Structure 1
Amino acid sequence: MVCLLVATKADPASIGPASALLSLCSSWTRGPDIDNNPSYRTRDVRMIHLQDKIVYEDFLEQRWETVTGENVSEIIFMSRHTAASNRPALTVHPIGIPHLEHDANSPAGGKPGRASPPNSRIGAWFRLLKSTAANNNLLPEFEVTLEATHHGPWTEVPAMFVEIGSTEDYWRREDAAATVASVFMKGLGLDGDQAVGCWSEEIHAGEKVLLGIGGGHYAPRHTDIAQKDGVWVGHLLSGYSLLMSDPGANVKDYDKIEGTWKEAILEAVSATKRAFPGGEVVAHLDAIVTLKFIFWVVSGLLRLLELHCMCATGLFSSHHPSHHRTLTNSNDEVLCAHQVHEIRRGFLPIWLPVCIC
């Protein structure tokens, strides 16, 4: 089994770290061409340099296996990151578009309605990326963060993206490329030490794996949890991936909350379980919503997780002044039957649900 690294010459934030990694490790040798794309090999790591956009390069593991006969255990992509803020950033994220309907068009690759298994290294490499960036004096200029699950390509083996953002000046920064290359060097064990973030069912069975649900694209509250040593990170579904219709008068009927939110969550759960065999997937809910919608959003999420025997923890906040031990709306109707603990953060009441199964 080999780990496949993927870079593209069309992206300076991709080929830059890839070239730096080739320079860091002297044991690389030239491998076979894959669809006329050059490849490189060292130990159990392989690297391919593509010509075009990565997000449309589906089934890379199968294409590699067809040419080389080697089975691919995981794929890690090097890529640029774009953001409206143009803020310099180093990011890590899983891939997939589980919130889209299966017959929808995908503007950024991937298979609509599906999520590839998240690479088990996401949490550990996020922490490694942050510490390496600090050692290389990229902080606080660069923000180091997780991103929610998004875009393609489609792969059936665990995958993740490591990105440099957010403008061309930063994509071409040699110190950023060197930082990412150092993370790959250490994270893959190419420096002679033990590799970082490898999941073993024999060793890690029963350990908890975070499945993030809700929040913004940069998953700040899920990221807070992921910063702790030993936290495994699966898929991260942002609020915009939870497409729900207001059930109106049917607010208490879970099945009346339409949209692709249920399918997206169940696909993310399934993919995360495949990536962490023997692990306990725990949903971390970031439901920062207005009181108008908190009842049906939160109760719908909890009901879905309860039906599928998952545990849930998370933060629910609102401007409601009540100090009830259960979540209530403005009419003091109980939002969910599960016992909750209330804690305080500033002037906002925040509730932390107990395990629901």
Structure 2
Amino acid sequence: MLAVVVSRADEASVHVGEHLRETADWTETTDDSRPDADGGGTVYRTDEAELREFDDWHLELDGVAEAFDDPDLLVFASRHAGETDELLTAHHTGNFGEAEFGGEAGRFARACPNAQREVVTALAEHAPEGYEVGVECTHHGPTSVGVPSMFVEVGSAEAQWRDPDAARAVARAILSLRDVAADAPRENGSRRHLVGFGGGHYAPRFERVIRETDWAVGHVAADWSLSALDEWAETDAEREAVLERAFDASAADYALLEAERPALESTLERLGYRVVEETFVRETTGVPLELVEALEAEVAPVEGGLRFGDPATAAERRTDWEVVEPPADLRSEAAGIDAEALREWVASNALAFGTEQRGTVVTGPFVLPPETTRDSLVSALAEILRRRYDSVEREGDELVAREEAFDPDLARTTGVPEGPKFGKLSAGEAVEVDGDVIEPERVQRERIRRFTL
């Protein structure tokens, strides 16, 4: 069940609450067990959602989930204040350092990474013209809510707080969460959750991940948050405890860094978390994490060039495959003829494949599913070779490619001087030498290349 918190101290929150009640059919009941100021009084309920109003500011509402009837997810409908013009945003709550604005120092509320991912999508869908949609770093309380939670906000000044279109957009986005789980499904003992580190208060890299991949983001420590952590923590152990709390409150085992931070990366890896690049996040989108782990162990990590093909995203569970290392000269020749065609075939037929130069050059090995044989790989490479050679045939354990090619020595014996006429003959054009017309065929020899399979 979705719990929605409206603060009467927050003008924007009140307006969002009004549009929430207009957008869905609610049943009103009275809760006399709590003061009206603390979520009692009139309670609004609709399918899988409950809305309560409070007098205090949101960031002062520690333990607020207790006011609701067994919620799974809680959203604070709130305003955003800043110098960012028209903005709809979402973020989790907590403090990497001192608790200047609610909550406890070095503590975090339980994040809802999957729900945040969904609400950002919904905000983008419903945002009025001129409004941007973004996410923010973790930067204020409360730190003790009781269930996974986040703020969903309209900003960034009075004109936007009073804008009915903006309030309606936020209301619709919040209501879209009624059947959404706080967390992504568990896979291979983990989840597609990231803790973010670095960057500014507004987090475009992490927003990009949320909107363009199937990974979700929990708590985010901006550059200033990490500085605040360093200032607040008196010992390395205390600092590491805060980092571990951020991962625990995000239900995450992976970290994504905005920029290189060797010391932080080393600390996170020592604590047992995997630091990944955005390339990893994008390349593993749609690929079961169990398969990712297995193929990284057998071939190479994604950061080392492993890439996944279309079969890796198939719904069925993959447990068997063959790792094929194509002959280097054959693979290189095919790539030289048509690198795009080679990559297209591999991406369409292989579970995964090795690359170099940050994923731009296909090198192998190729991880083939049972339905794709080594012979089909050889056939695909042969087909690419036929674009250059006159014939390409398999002869036993060899692939034999033949072509009639310009032979400079033959050209010299016919009296053709080196220079432009060599170029014309090589391109298949006849030339004239001392009144004699030299056809290209006269200066060609059969060239044979053999590729051992």
**Fold-level similarity (TM above 0.5):** yes
Is 1:313 the counterpart of 2:312 in the alignment?
no
Is 1:22 the counterpart of 2:15 in the alignment?
no
Equivalent AA in structure 2 for residue 147 of structure 1: E
Name the CA distance, whole Å, in 1 between partners of 2:76 and 2:230: 35
Superposed, which structure 2 residues align to 1:113-128 within 5 Å? 113-119=106-112, 120-128=114-122
Query: How far did 1:239 drift?
Result: 1.1
Name the CA distance, whole Å, in 1 between partners of 2:188 and 2:87: 31
* 1:109 aligned residue (102, 106, 109): 102
**Cα deviation per residue 1:226-261 (whole Å; 9 max; x = unaligned)?**
112522221111111113769xxxxxxxxx996965
Percentage of pairs with the same residue: 27
Mapped contact 1:55–1:110 kept (Cα < 8 A): yes
TM-score w.r.t. the length of structure 1 is 0.69
Higher helix share: 2
* 1:187 aligned residue (160, 163, 177): 177
Name the CA distance, whole Å, in 2 between partners of 1:202 and 1:221: 24
Partner of 1:35: 35
* 1:221 aligned residue (205, 209, 232): 205
Is 1:271 the counterpart of 2:265 in the alignment?
no
Superposed, which structure 2 residues align to 1:1-357 within 5 Å? 2-33=1-32, 34-36=34-36, 37=39, 38-62=42-66, 64=67, 70-83=69-82, 85-100=83-98, 106-119=99-112, 120-133=114-127, 138-139=128-129, 141-153=130-142, 154-188=144-178, 195-199=179-183, 201=185, 206-243=190-227, 261-273=239-251, 281-287=253-259, 298-314=261-277
TM-score w.r.t. the length of structure 2 is 0.55
RMSD of aligned alpha carbons: 3.0
Mapped contact 1:115–1:267 kept (Cα < 8 A): yes
SS where residue 78 of structure 1 aligns?
Answer: strand
Query: How far did 1:29 drift?
Result: 2.2
Partner of 1:329: none
SS where residue 277 of structure 2 aligns?
Answer: strand
Distance 1:305 1:59, change over 3 A: same
Distance 1:341 1:197, change over 3 A: same
Query: How far did 1:127 drift?
Result: 1.6
Partner of 2:344: none
Q: Structure 1 stretches of 5 or more lacking a match?
A: 101-105, 189-194, 247-255, 274-279, 288-293, 317-337, 343-350, 353-357
Count residues with an aligned counterpart.
276
Name the CA distance, whole Å, in 1 between partners of 2:155 and 2:74: 21
Mapped contact 2:148–2:182 kept (Cα < 8 A): no
Name the CA distance, whole Å, in 2 between partners of 1:9 and 1:257: 41
Equivalent AA in structure 2 for residue 81 of structure 1: H
Name the CA distance, whole Å, in 2 between partners of 1:205 and 1:76: 27
> Greater relative contact order (Cα 8 A, min sep 6): structure 1 or 2?
1
Mapped contact 1:241–1:264 kept (Cα < 8 A): no
Query: How far did 1:204 drift?
Result: 9.1
Query: How far did 1:131 drift?
Result: 1.9
Distance 1:227 1:200, change over 3 A: closer
Residues 119-128 or 226-235, more deviating: 226-235
